[in-house]
């Protein structure tokens, strides 16, 4: 299972990269805004730090506009992936980009039918938003289970990115379902390392080591 960082903050990406647990990065206009930097400047820097795919979202709402933006963004670095919203125009763009050999990440996926359509369009990645489904009393992880079944049934090459991850349990459940990737905010990633019994155990061992030296 791959871990992507769901952030446009370079310091968070550097920290996860140094720990060897950043296989890629996903951004969106909200995350770019939170970085306080321009999309082009920050994405170019991220694409140098991270070897894996770096998703950048198009703003155009029509397929020709999306393709134009995609071609521009793709020239920034070899590991750029174009994030395209799950719309009819978006799927037209995904078909064109797929034929051009440009990788795509279909975003704002909230149903199994949307995922199936995106896979058939040739999406490299699809991003179902589990947290936002949980927010409206739907079961985000149930959708992941459905989509993984569909992808497996037909041996699609499309990879599933579990997105809108809000807590470590989302990552655990994603891994149990065999999801290819989870894109994780830095705060959630931090929580995944910690366990109070680990801290307690280390403190106890250090204390006992000191005692053993005195004896
Ligand atoms: O990867 C999509 C993600 O950035 C959306 O997360 O927390 O805004 O639903 P959230």
Best residue among 33, 129, 130, 134 to mutate for probing ligand 1, ranked by most atoms within 8 Å of CB: 129
Which ligand 1 atom is at minimum distance from the Cα of 185? 4
Check pocket membership of 7 for ligand 1, CB cut-off 6 A: no
pLDDT of residue 214: 77
pLDDT tens digits, 174-212: 999 999 999 999 999 999 999 999 999 999 999 999 999
C-beta 164 within 6 A of ligand 1: yes
Predicted TM-score (pTM) of the model is 0.95
Mean residue pLDDT across the chain: 97
pLDDT value, residue 78: 97
**Chain-centre distance for alpha carbon 99:** 23
User: What pLDDT, on a 0 to 100 scale, did the predictor assign at position 187?
Assistant: 97
Q: Is 81 left (phi over 0), alpha (psi -120 to 50) or beta?
A: beta
Q: Is the CB of 132 under 6 A from ligand 1?
A: yes
Q: How far is CA 179 from CA 3, 5, 24, 33, in A?
A: 11, 16, 15, 28
Q: How confident is the model at residue 215 (pLDDT cuts 50, 70, 90)?
A: low
**130 CA to centre of ligand 1 in angstroms:** 9
Angle made by CA atoms 172, 28, 73, in degrees to the nearest 5: 120
Ligand 1, atom 9: closest residue by C-alpha = 164
Ligand 1: centre distance to CA 31 (Å): 9
d(CA 154, CA 140): 22
- What is the band of 150 on the pLDDT scale with cuts at 50, 70, 90? very high
3-state secondary structure 169-204: HHHHHHHHCCCCEEEECHHHHHHHHCCHHHHHHHHH
CA of 163 to the centre of ligand 1 (A): 6
Give the distance (Å) from ligand 1 centre to CA of residue 205: 40
- 88 labelled catalytic: no
**Average pLDDT score over residue span 105-120:** 98
Q: pLDDT of 33-90, one tens digit each?
A: 999 999 999 999 999 999 999 999 999 999 999 999 999 999 999 999 999 999 999 9
Catalytic residue, chosen from 68, 83, 211, 214, is: 83
Atom in ligand 1 nearest the alpha carbon of residue 127: 1
Q: How confident is the model at residue 145 (pLDDT cuts 50, 70, 90)?
A: very high
Q: Residues of the chain with pLDDT > 90: what percent? A: 98
């Amino acid at each position: 299972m791959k871990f992507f960082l769901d952030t446009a903050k370079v310091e968070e990406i550097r920290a996860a990269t140094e720990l060897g647990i950043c296989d890629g990065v996903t951004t969106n206009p909200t995350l770019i805004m939170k970085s306080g930097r321009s999309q082009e400047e920050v994405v170019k820097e991220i694409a140098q730090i991270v070897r894996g795919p770096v998703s950048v979202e198009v703003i155009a709402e029509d397929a020709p506009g999306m393709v134009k933006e995609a071609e521009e963004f793709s020239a920034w670095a070899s590991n750029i992936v174009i994030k395209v919203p799950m719309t009819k125009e978006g799927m037209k763009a995904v078909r064109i980009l797929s034929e051009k050999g440009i990788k795509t990440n279909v975003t704002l996926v909230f149903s199994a039918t949307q995922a199936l359509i995106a896979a058939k369009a040739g999406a490299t990645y699809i991003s179902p938003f589990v947290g936002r489904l949980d927010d409206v009393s739907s079961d985000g992880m149930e959708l992941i289970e459905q989509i993984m079944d569909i992808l497996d049934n037909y041996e699609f090459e499309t990879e599933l990115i579990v997105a809108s991850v809000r807590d470590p349990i989302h990552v655990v459940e994603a891994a149990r379902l065999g999801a290819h990737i989870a894109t994780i905010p830095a705060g959630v990633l931090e929580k995944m390392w910690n366990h109070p019994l680990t801290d307690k155990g280390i403190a106890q061992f250090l204390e006992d080591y000191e005692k053993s030296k005195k004896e």
